[in-house]
Amino acid sequence: MRKLLNWFKHEYFNPEILITENGYSDSTGQLNDPNRTHYLTEYLSAIKDAMDYDGVNVIGYNVWSLIDNFEWIAGYTVKFGLVNVDMSDPSRTRTKKDSFYYYQKVCQTHCIVDQCID
């Protein structure tokens, strides 16, 4: 991610960059999802490094996706959400995954593990 952000910086004269979709899918929808949390940590750290050390002008980031949803190619078989949606339940019960609480903490504290954003 850092290399790509630097490419945009140099190719387009350091534009403002808003990352609108970045996420991790799995097929299980488990509430304990350490792989998604690790993925988010690595990507957010790379973005922060690009901003801090390389001067890349990232103005925002939106994780994909807040809740499990319909993906055009895979339907409901892949789970991108920080919140699990039980598609077998007629009421589509929603349950927060561990990654939800991780990302909530990042948003509240502006810290990625031990790296805080000024």
Q: What is the phi/psi pair of residue 14, to 5°?
A: 55, 60
Whether residue 42 has pLDDT greater than 70:
yes
Q: Give 45-81 pLDDT, tens digit per residue.
A: 999 999 999 999 999 999 999 999 988 898 888 899 9
Residue 27: the pLDDT is 83
- Identify the pLDDT of residue 115: 66
Rounded Cα distance, 18 and 109, in Å: 20
Q: Tell me 21's DSSP state.
A: E
The whole-model pTM stands at 0.89
Instruction: Give the H or E element holding residue 84.
Output: strand 83-85
Query: Over 80: is that where the pLDDT of 114 sits?
Result: no
Question: What are 11-21's pLDDT values in tens digits?
Answer: 999 999 999 98
Encode burial over 48-73: b for 16+ CB neighbours within 10 A, e otherwise. bebbeeeebebeebebebeebeeeee
Query: How much of the chain is helix, strand and coil, in % rounded to 5?
Result: 35, 25, 40
Retrieve residue 77's tokens: 């078989």
